[in-house]
C-alpha cells in the first residue's frame, strides 16, 4: 500500500508570537511567577527534549517504548474489538511520533493499512510527525491537522465502519493539573463515539530519587532545556534575562504528587521585557531565591489513572506495565 500526500496548514507566525507574549505577560506578573511548559518547545527546546528522551536518567520514553514494543500487537488487537473493526489512529499533541510508529506498524500488521491523524497546535511538530512516519512505515497514510486539541474538536473525517483509537501517550497528561486533565479528557471523549478506544501513557509514582534524577540529569540537559525558555524570551520578546543569574531546580511535591521544575533567581535582580503586541513594557523584580515555576510533571498511582479515566466517562479495560512498574499504558473504551 502506498502512503498518501499530506495537507499541512501552517500556523500563522503572528498568532504564535502573540501567544508567547501573552503567556509571558500573564505568567511573569503572577505571584508566584510561572511560565507555561508549552513555551519550552521552540526549535532549540524541541531538540533538547529529544536529547532528554535518550538520557540514562530519563526512564519515561524508553520504558513506554519498551511496553509498546512488547505489547503493540495485543494493544491494537484488543482495541479493534470482536468482531474486529478497522482502526484509525488519532494522536492529539503528536510531537515527533517516534513511539507512535510502533503502534502504527502493529495496526498495519493487523489490518493491512491504517490512517494516522496527528493533531497539534504546532505545524513544526506535525512536520516532524509526518517525516517520521510518511514513507517510512508502509501502509500508513497521514492526515495532519493543526488544532488546539485542548479546546478544538478532532478532525471530523471518520470513515464509515471504523473505530478511532486515540493516543495520548508519553506522559503528556502529566503537564496538566488534575482539573485541567479532567477537562482535557472530557473534551477528548466528547469527540469519540461509543466503542472508540483511548490509549493513555502515564508515568507512575516511584522512588523519589529516581523521579528527581529524571528531571535533574548529570549531563545538565534538563537544566539547559529549562533555561532555554528564558533564552526564547530574550530572542522572541527582546527580554534581557541574564541566564547565568538563574539556576535550574527540580523538586518533588509529595502533596500534589508532582515533580516541579523551577528557575531560581540567584540574586536580587530586574529583568526588562520591552513593549510588544501583548502590552506595555514590563520591569520584573526578582528577589534572591525567588523562582519561576516552569513545569509540573504529575506522577500517578494505578488508582489515580483509573479514577481519571472513570471520572471522565471512560472505562479502563487493560493496563500494560514494564516489569519494574515505572510506567503505565492503559486502554479504555469511550
- Using CB under 6 A, list all residues that contact ligand AVJ: 52, 60, 170-172, 174-175, 215, 222, 295, 297
Residue 295: CB minimum distance to ligand AVJ, A: 6
Dist CA 130 CA 154 (whole Å): 17
Residue 261: CB minimum distance to ligand AVJ, A: 6
**Nearest residue (CB) to ligand AVJ, 175 versus 228:** 175
Interacting residues of 87 by C-beta distance below 8 A, sequence separation 6+: 76, 79, 80, 107, 110, 111, 114, 162, 163, 164, 165, 197
Which residue has 535518550 as its cell numbers? 54
**Nearest residue (CB) to ligand AVJ, 137 versus 214:** 214
**Nearest residue (CB) to ligand AVJ, 118 versus 174:** 174
Residue 182: CB minimum distance to ligand AVJ, A: 18
Residue 260: CB minimum distance to ligand AVJ, A: 10
The answer to whether the bond into 135 is cis (omega within 30° of 0) is no
Give me the helices (H) in the chain, please: 13-28, 43-52, 59-80, 100-111, 123-133, 178-190, 208-214, 221-237, 302-311
Residue 2: CB minimum distance to ligand AVJ, A: 33
Dist CA 242 CA 19 (whole Å): 23
Task: Give me the residue whose beta carbon is nearest to ligand AVJ.
Answer: 297
With vertex at residue 286, the alpha carbon angle to CA 285 and CA 290, rounded to the nearest 5 degrees, is 150
DSSP state letter for 56:
S
Residue 222: CB minimum distance to ligand AVJ, A: 5
**Nearest residue (CB) to ligand AVJ, 172 versus 312:** 172
Dist CA 216 CA 274 (whole Å): 32
Residue 175: CB minimum distance to ligand AVJ, A: 5
Dist CA 213 CA 327 (whole Å): 16
Buried (b) or exposed (e) across 106-126, using 16+ Cβ within 10 A? bbbebbeebbbbbbbbbbbbb
DSSP state letter for 39:
G
Residue 88: CB minimum distance to ligand AVJ, A: 24
Residue 147: CB minimum distance to ligand AVJ, A: 19
Dist CA 98 CA 48 (whole Å): 15
**Nearest residue (CB) to ligand AVJ, 197 versus 201:** 201
Dist CA 325 CA 202 (whole Å): 11
Other beta carbons less than 10 A from residue 192's beta carbon: 21
**Nearest residue (CB) to ligand AVJ, 122 versus 175:** 175
What single string gives the DSSP state of each residue in 204-258?
A: BP--HHHHHHHTS-TT-HHHHHHHHHHHHHHHHH-----GGGEEEEEEEETTTTE
**Nearest residue (CB) to ligand AVJ, 88 versus 297:** 297
**Nearest residue (CB) to ligand AVJ, 63 versus 141:** 63
**Nearest residue (CB) to ligand AVJ, 63 versus 175:** 175
Which residue has 531538540 as its cell numbers? 47
Amino acid at each position: 500500500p502506498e502512503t498518501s500526500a499530506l495537507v499541512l496548514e501552517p500556523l500563522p507566525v503572528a498568532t504564535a508570537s502573540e501567544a508567547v507574549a501573552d503567556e509571558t505577560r500573564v505568567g511573569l506578573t503572577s505571584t508566584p511567577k510561572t511560565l507555561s511548559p508549552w513555551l519550552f518547545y521552540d526549535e532549540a527546546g524541541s531538540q533538547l527534549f529529544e536529547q532528554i528522551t535518550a538520557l540514562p536518567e530519563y526512564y519515561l520514553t524508553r520504558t513506554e517504548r519498551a511496553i509498546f514494543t512488547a505489547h503493540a500487537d495485543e494493544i491494537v488487537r484488543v482495541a479493534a474489538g470482536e468482531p474486529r473493526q478497522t482502526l484509525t489512529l488519532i494522536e492529539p499533541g503528536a510531537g515527533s511520533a517516534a513511539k507512535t510508529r510502533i503502534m502504527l506498524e502493529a495496526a498495519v500488521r493487523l489490518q493491512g493499512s491504517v490512517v494516522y491523524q496527528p493533531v497539534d497546535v504546532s505545524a513544526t511538530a506535525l512536520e516532524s510527525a509526518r517525516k517520521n512516519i510518511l514513507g517510512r512505515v508502509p501502509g500508513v497514510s497521514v492526515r495532519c491537522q493543526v488544532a488546539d486539541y485542548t479546546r478544538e474538536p478532532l478532525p471530523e473525517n471518520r470513515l464509515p465502519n471504523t473505530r478511532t483509537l486515540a493516543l495520548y501517550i508519553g506522559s503528556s497528561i502529566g503537564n496538566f493539573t488534575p482539573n485541567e486533565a479532567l477537562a482535557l479528557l472530557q473534551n477528548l471523549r466528547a469527540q469519540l463515539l461509543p466503542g472508540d478506544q483511548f490509549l493513555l501513557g502515564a508515568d507512575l509514582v516511584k522512588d523519589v530519587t529516581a523521579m528527581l534524577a529524571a528531571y535533574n540529569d548529570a549531563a545538565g540537559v534538563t537544566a539547559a532545556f529549562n533555561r532555554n525558555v528564558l533564552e526564547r524570551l530574550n530572542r522572541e520578546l527582546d527580554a534581557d534575562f541574564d541566564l547565568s543569574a538563574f539556576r535550574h531546580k527540580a523538586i518533588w511535591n509529595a502533596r500534589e504528587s508532582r515533580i516541579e521544575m523551577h528557575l531560581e533567581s540567584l540574586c536580587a535582580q530586574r529583568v526588562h521585557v520591552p513593549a510588544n503586541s501583548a502590552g506595555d513594557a514590563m520591569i520584573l523584580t526578582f528577589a534572591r531565591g525567588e523562582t519561576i515555576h516552569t513545569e509540573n510533571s504529575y506522577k500517578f498511582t494505578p488508582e489515580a489513572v483509573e479514577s481519571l479515566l472513570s471520572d471522565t466517562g471512560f472505562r479502563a479495560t487493560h493496563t500494560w506495565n514494564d516489569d519494574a512498574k515505572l510506567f503505565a499504558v492503559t486502554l479504555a473504551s469511550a
